[in-house]
Amino acid sequence: MWQAQGVLRTVNDSSLAPTMPPTRWYDGLAQYQQQGIAHVLATVVAVNGSAPRALQAKMVITVDSCCDTLGGGGLEHDVMTTARQLLNGEMEATVSKSSKKEKSSKKDLNSEMESQPAKAVRRDTVYTKHYPLGAKLAQCCGGSVTVMFECFNVTPPLSILVFGAGHVAAALMTILAELPCQVDWVDSRSEMFEPYLINKPSQTDGFYQETETLSTLKQPVLYQLPAHIRPHVSDDPVDFIRPFIEPFIKQCPQRFILIMTHDHGLDFELVRAAVEVSLATTIDGTNEDTDKALIDNDSAKPSVPYIGCIGSATKAKRFKDRLLQRGYSEQTVDKLTMPIGLPIGGKEPMAVAISIAAQILQHYHNHDYQQ
């Protein structure tokens, strides 16, 4: 059974930003795991003598926040610095030397190892660091601790922005619910998310009664969906594209935008907006003179995100022709995925959803999106 999540049901709310950081490490670990945010779990795994925290004390560190504490002071400062160096790929460690017994039997090998330069610490492994709590850390505890660093979500997660909550999208969510990904699901029709509501409004004479008071507006709407699938009700779904693409254009150039709304006109506007935002961000990172920058700009060869739109071959041709007429280059238009999904056959919503999920996974695992 999916875990219920609280999501604020708002209109014209295109914010995809995470909430305020939690204060306890286990809350932070759960939140950052669900949101796919890169983080480090730092754990005290050994204590000798006096120390500010006990064995197994933990804290969670991201690139710009942290939760819980390992005791503060110079120890915690160095732990946070080390964790962020790991997240940024800046941590280096010298190659470990062999034991005395190995030195006597493998002299030449040791001399070769000692001459090797420092190597970057692999962020997909566990890293430990020993801290004497003395003058170097400006702490007078007198003991020492060893801290273990575990990195999570260092590789950008599979992130998907889905427009439309019809039959195919609903079937797709049952598949994405079982995959390690982050999904933002947008539709302008609040009734399309009603089957997932836990705290449904009362119904009288066939009409829903919703009291527009301050207290009810502040209450979150609970959906029976996994925490990594976040539904949004918005009258302006286009507003979700820029905050989805811009923050990650350098870290993960290709994110996945799936367009499958009930309105072909809206589908086209979403496709055009996705192309425009991604090209503008890649070319110069600004919003000024976007159309001029996009027209005949093949020399720039920007990286266009995966943009897929549901529909027939006829609809795809019409969309591409309209984009070409508006000045977008043929190279850019050819990168769009229309119709969406692998050609595996079947027109049932679940069959189409399977073809879409398979295509996303194929692109994600066979290309450089994880690097």
pLDDT in tens, 261-315: 999 999 999 999 999 988 877 655 444 444 444 444 444 444 567 899 999 999 9
Prediction pTM value: 0.66
**What pLDDT was estimated at residue 201?**
60
pLDDT in tens, 85-120: 998 887 765 433 433 444 444 444 444 444 444 455
**What pLDDT was estimated at residue 369?**
46
**What percent of the chain lies above the pLDDT cut of 70?**
68
**What pLDDT was estimated at residue 301?**
42
Q: Is the pLDDT of residue 316 over 90?
A: yes
pLDDT in tens, 63-79: 989 999 998 888 999 99
Query: Residue 19 is encoded by which pair of tokens?
Result: 């909430």
Average pLDDT score over the chain: 77
Cβ proximity of 160 and 184 under 8 Å: yes
Q: What is the largest CA-CA distance in the chain?
A: 90
Tell me the C-alpha distance between 85 and 231, whole Å: 34
- Beta bridge partners of residue 253, listed in sequence order: none
Tell me the C-alpha distance between 358 and 352, whole Å: 10
Tell me the C-alpha distance between 190 and 9, whole Å: 9
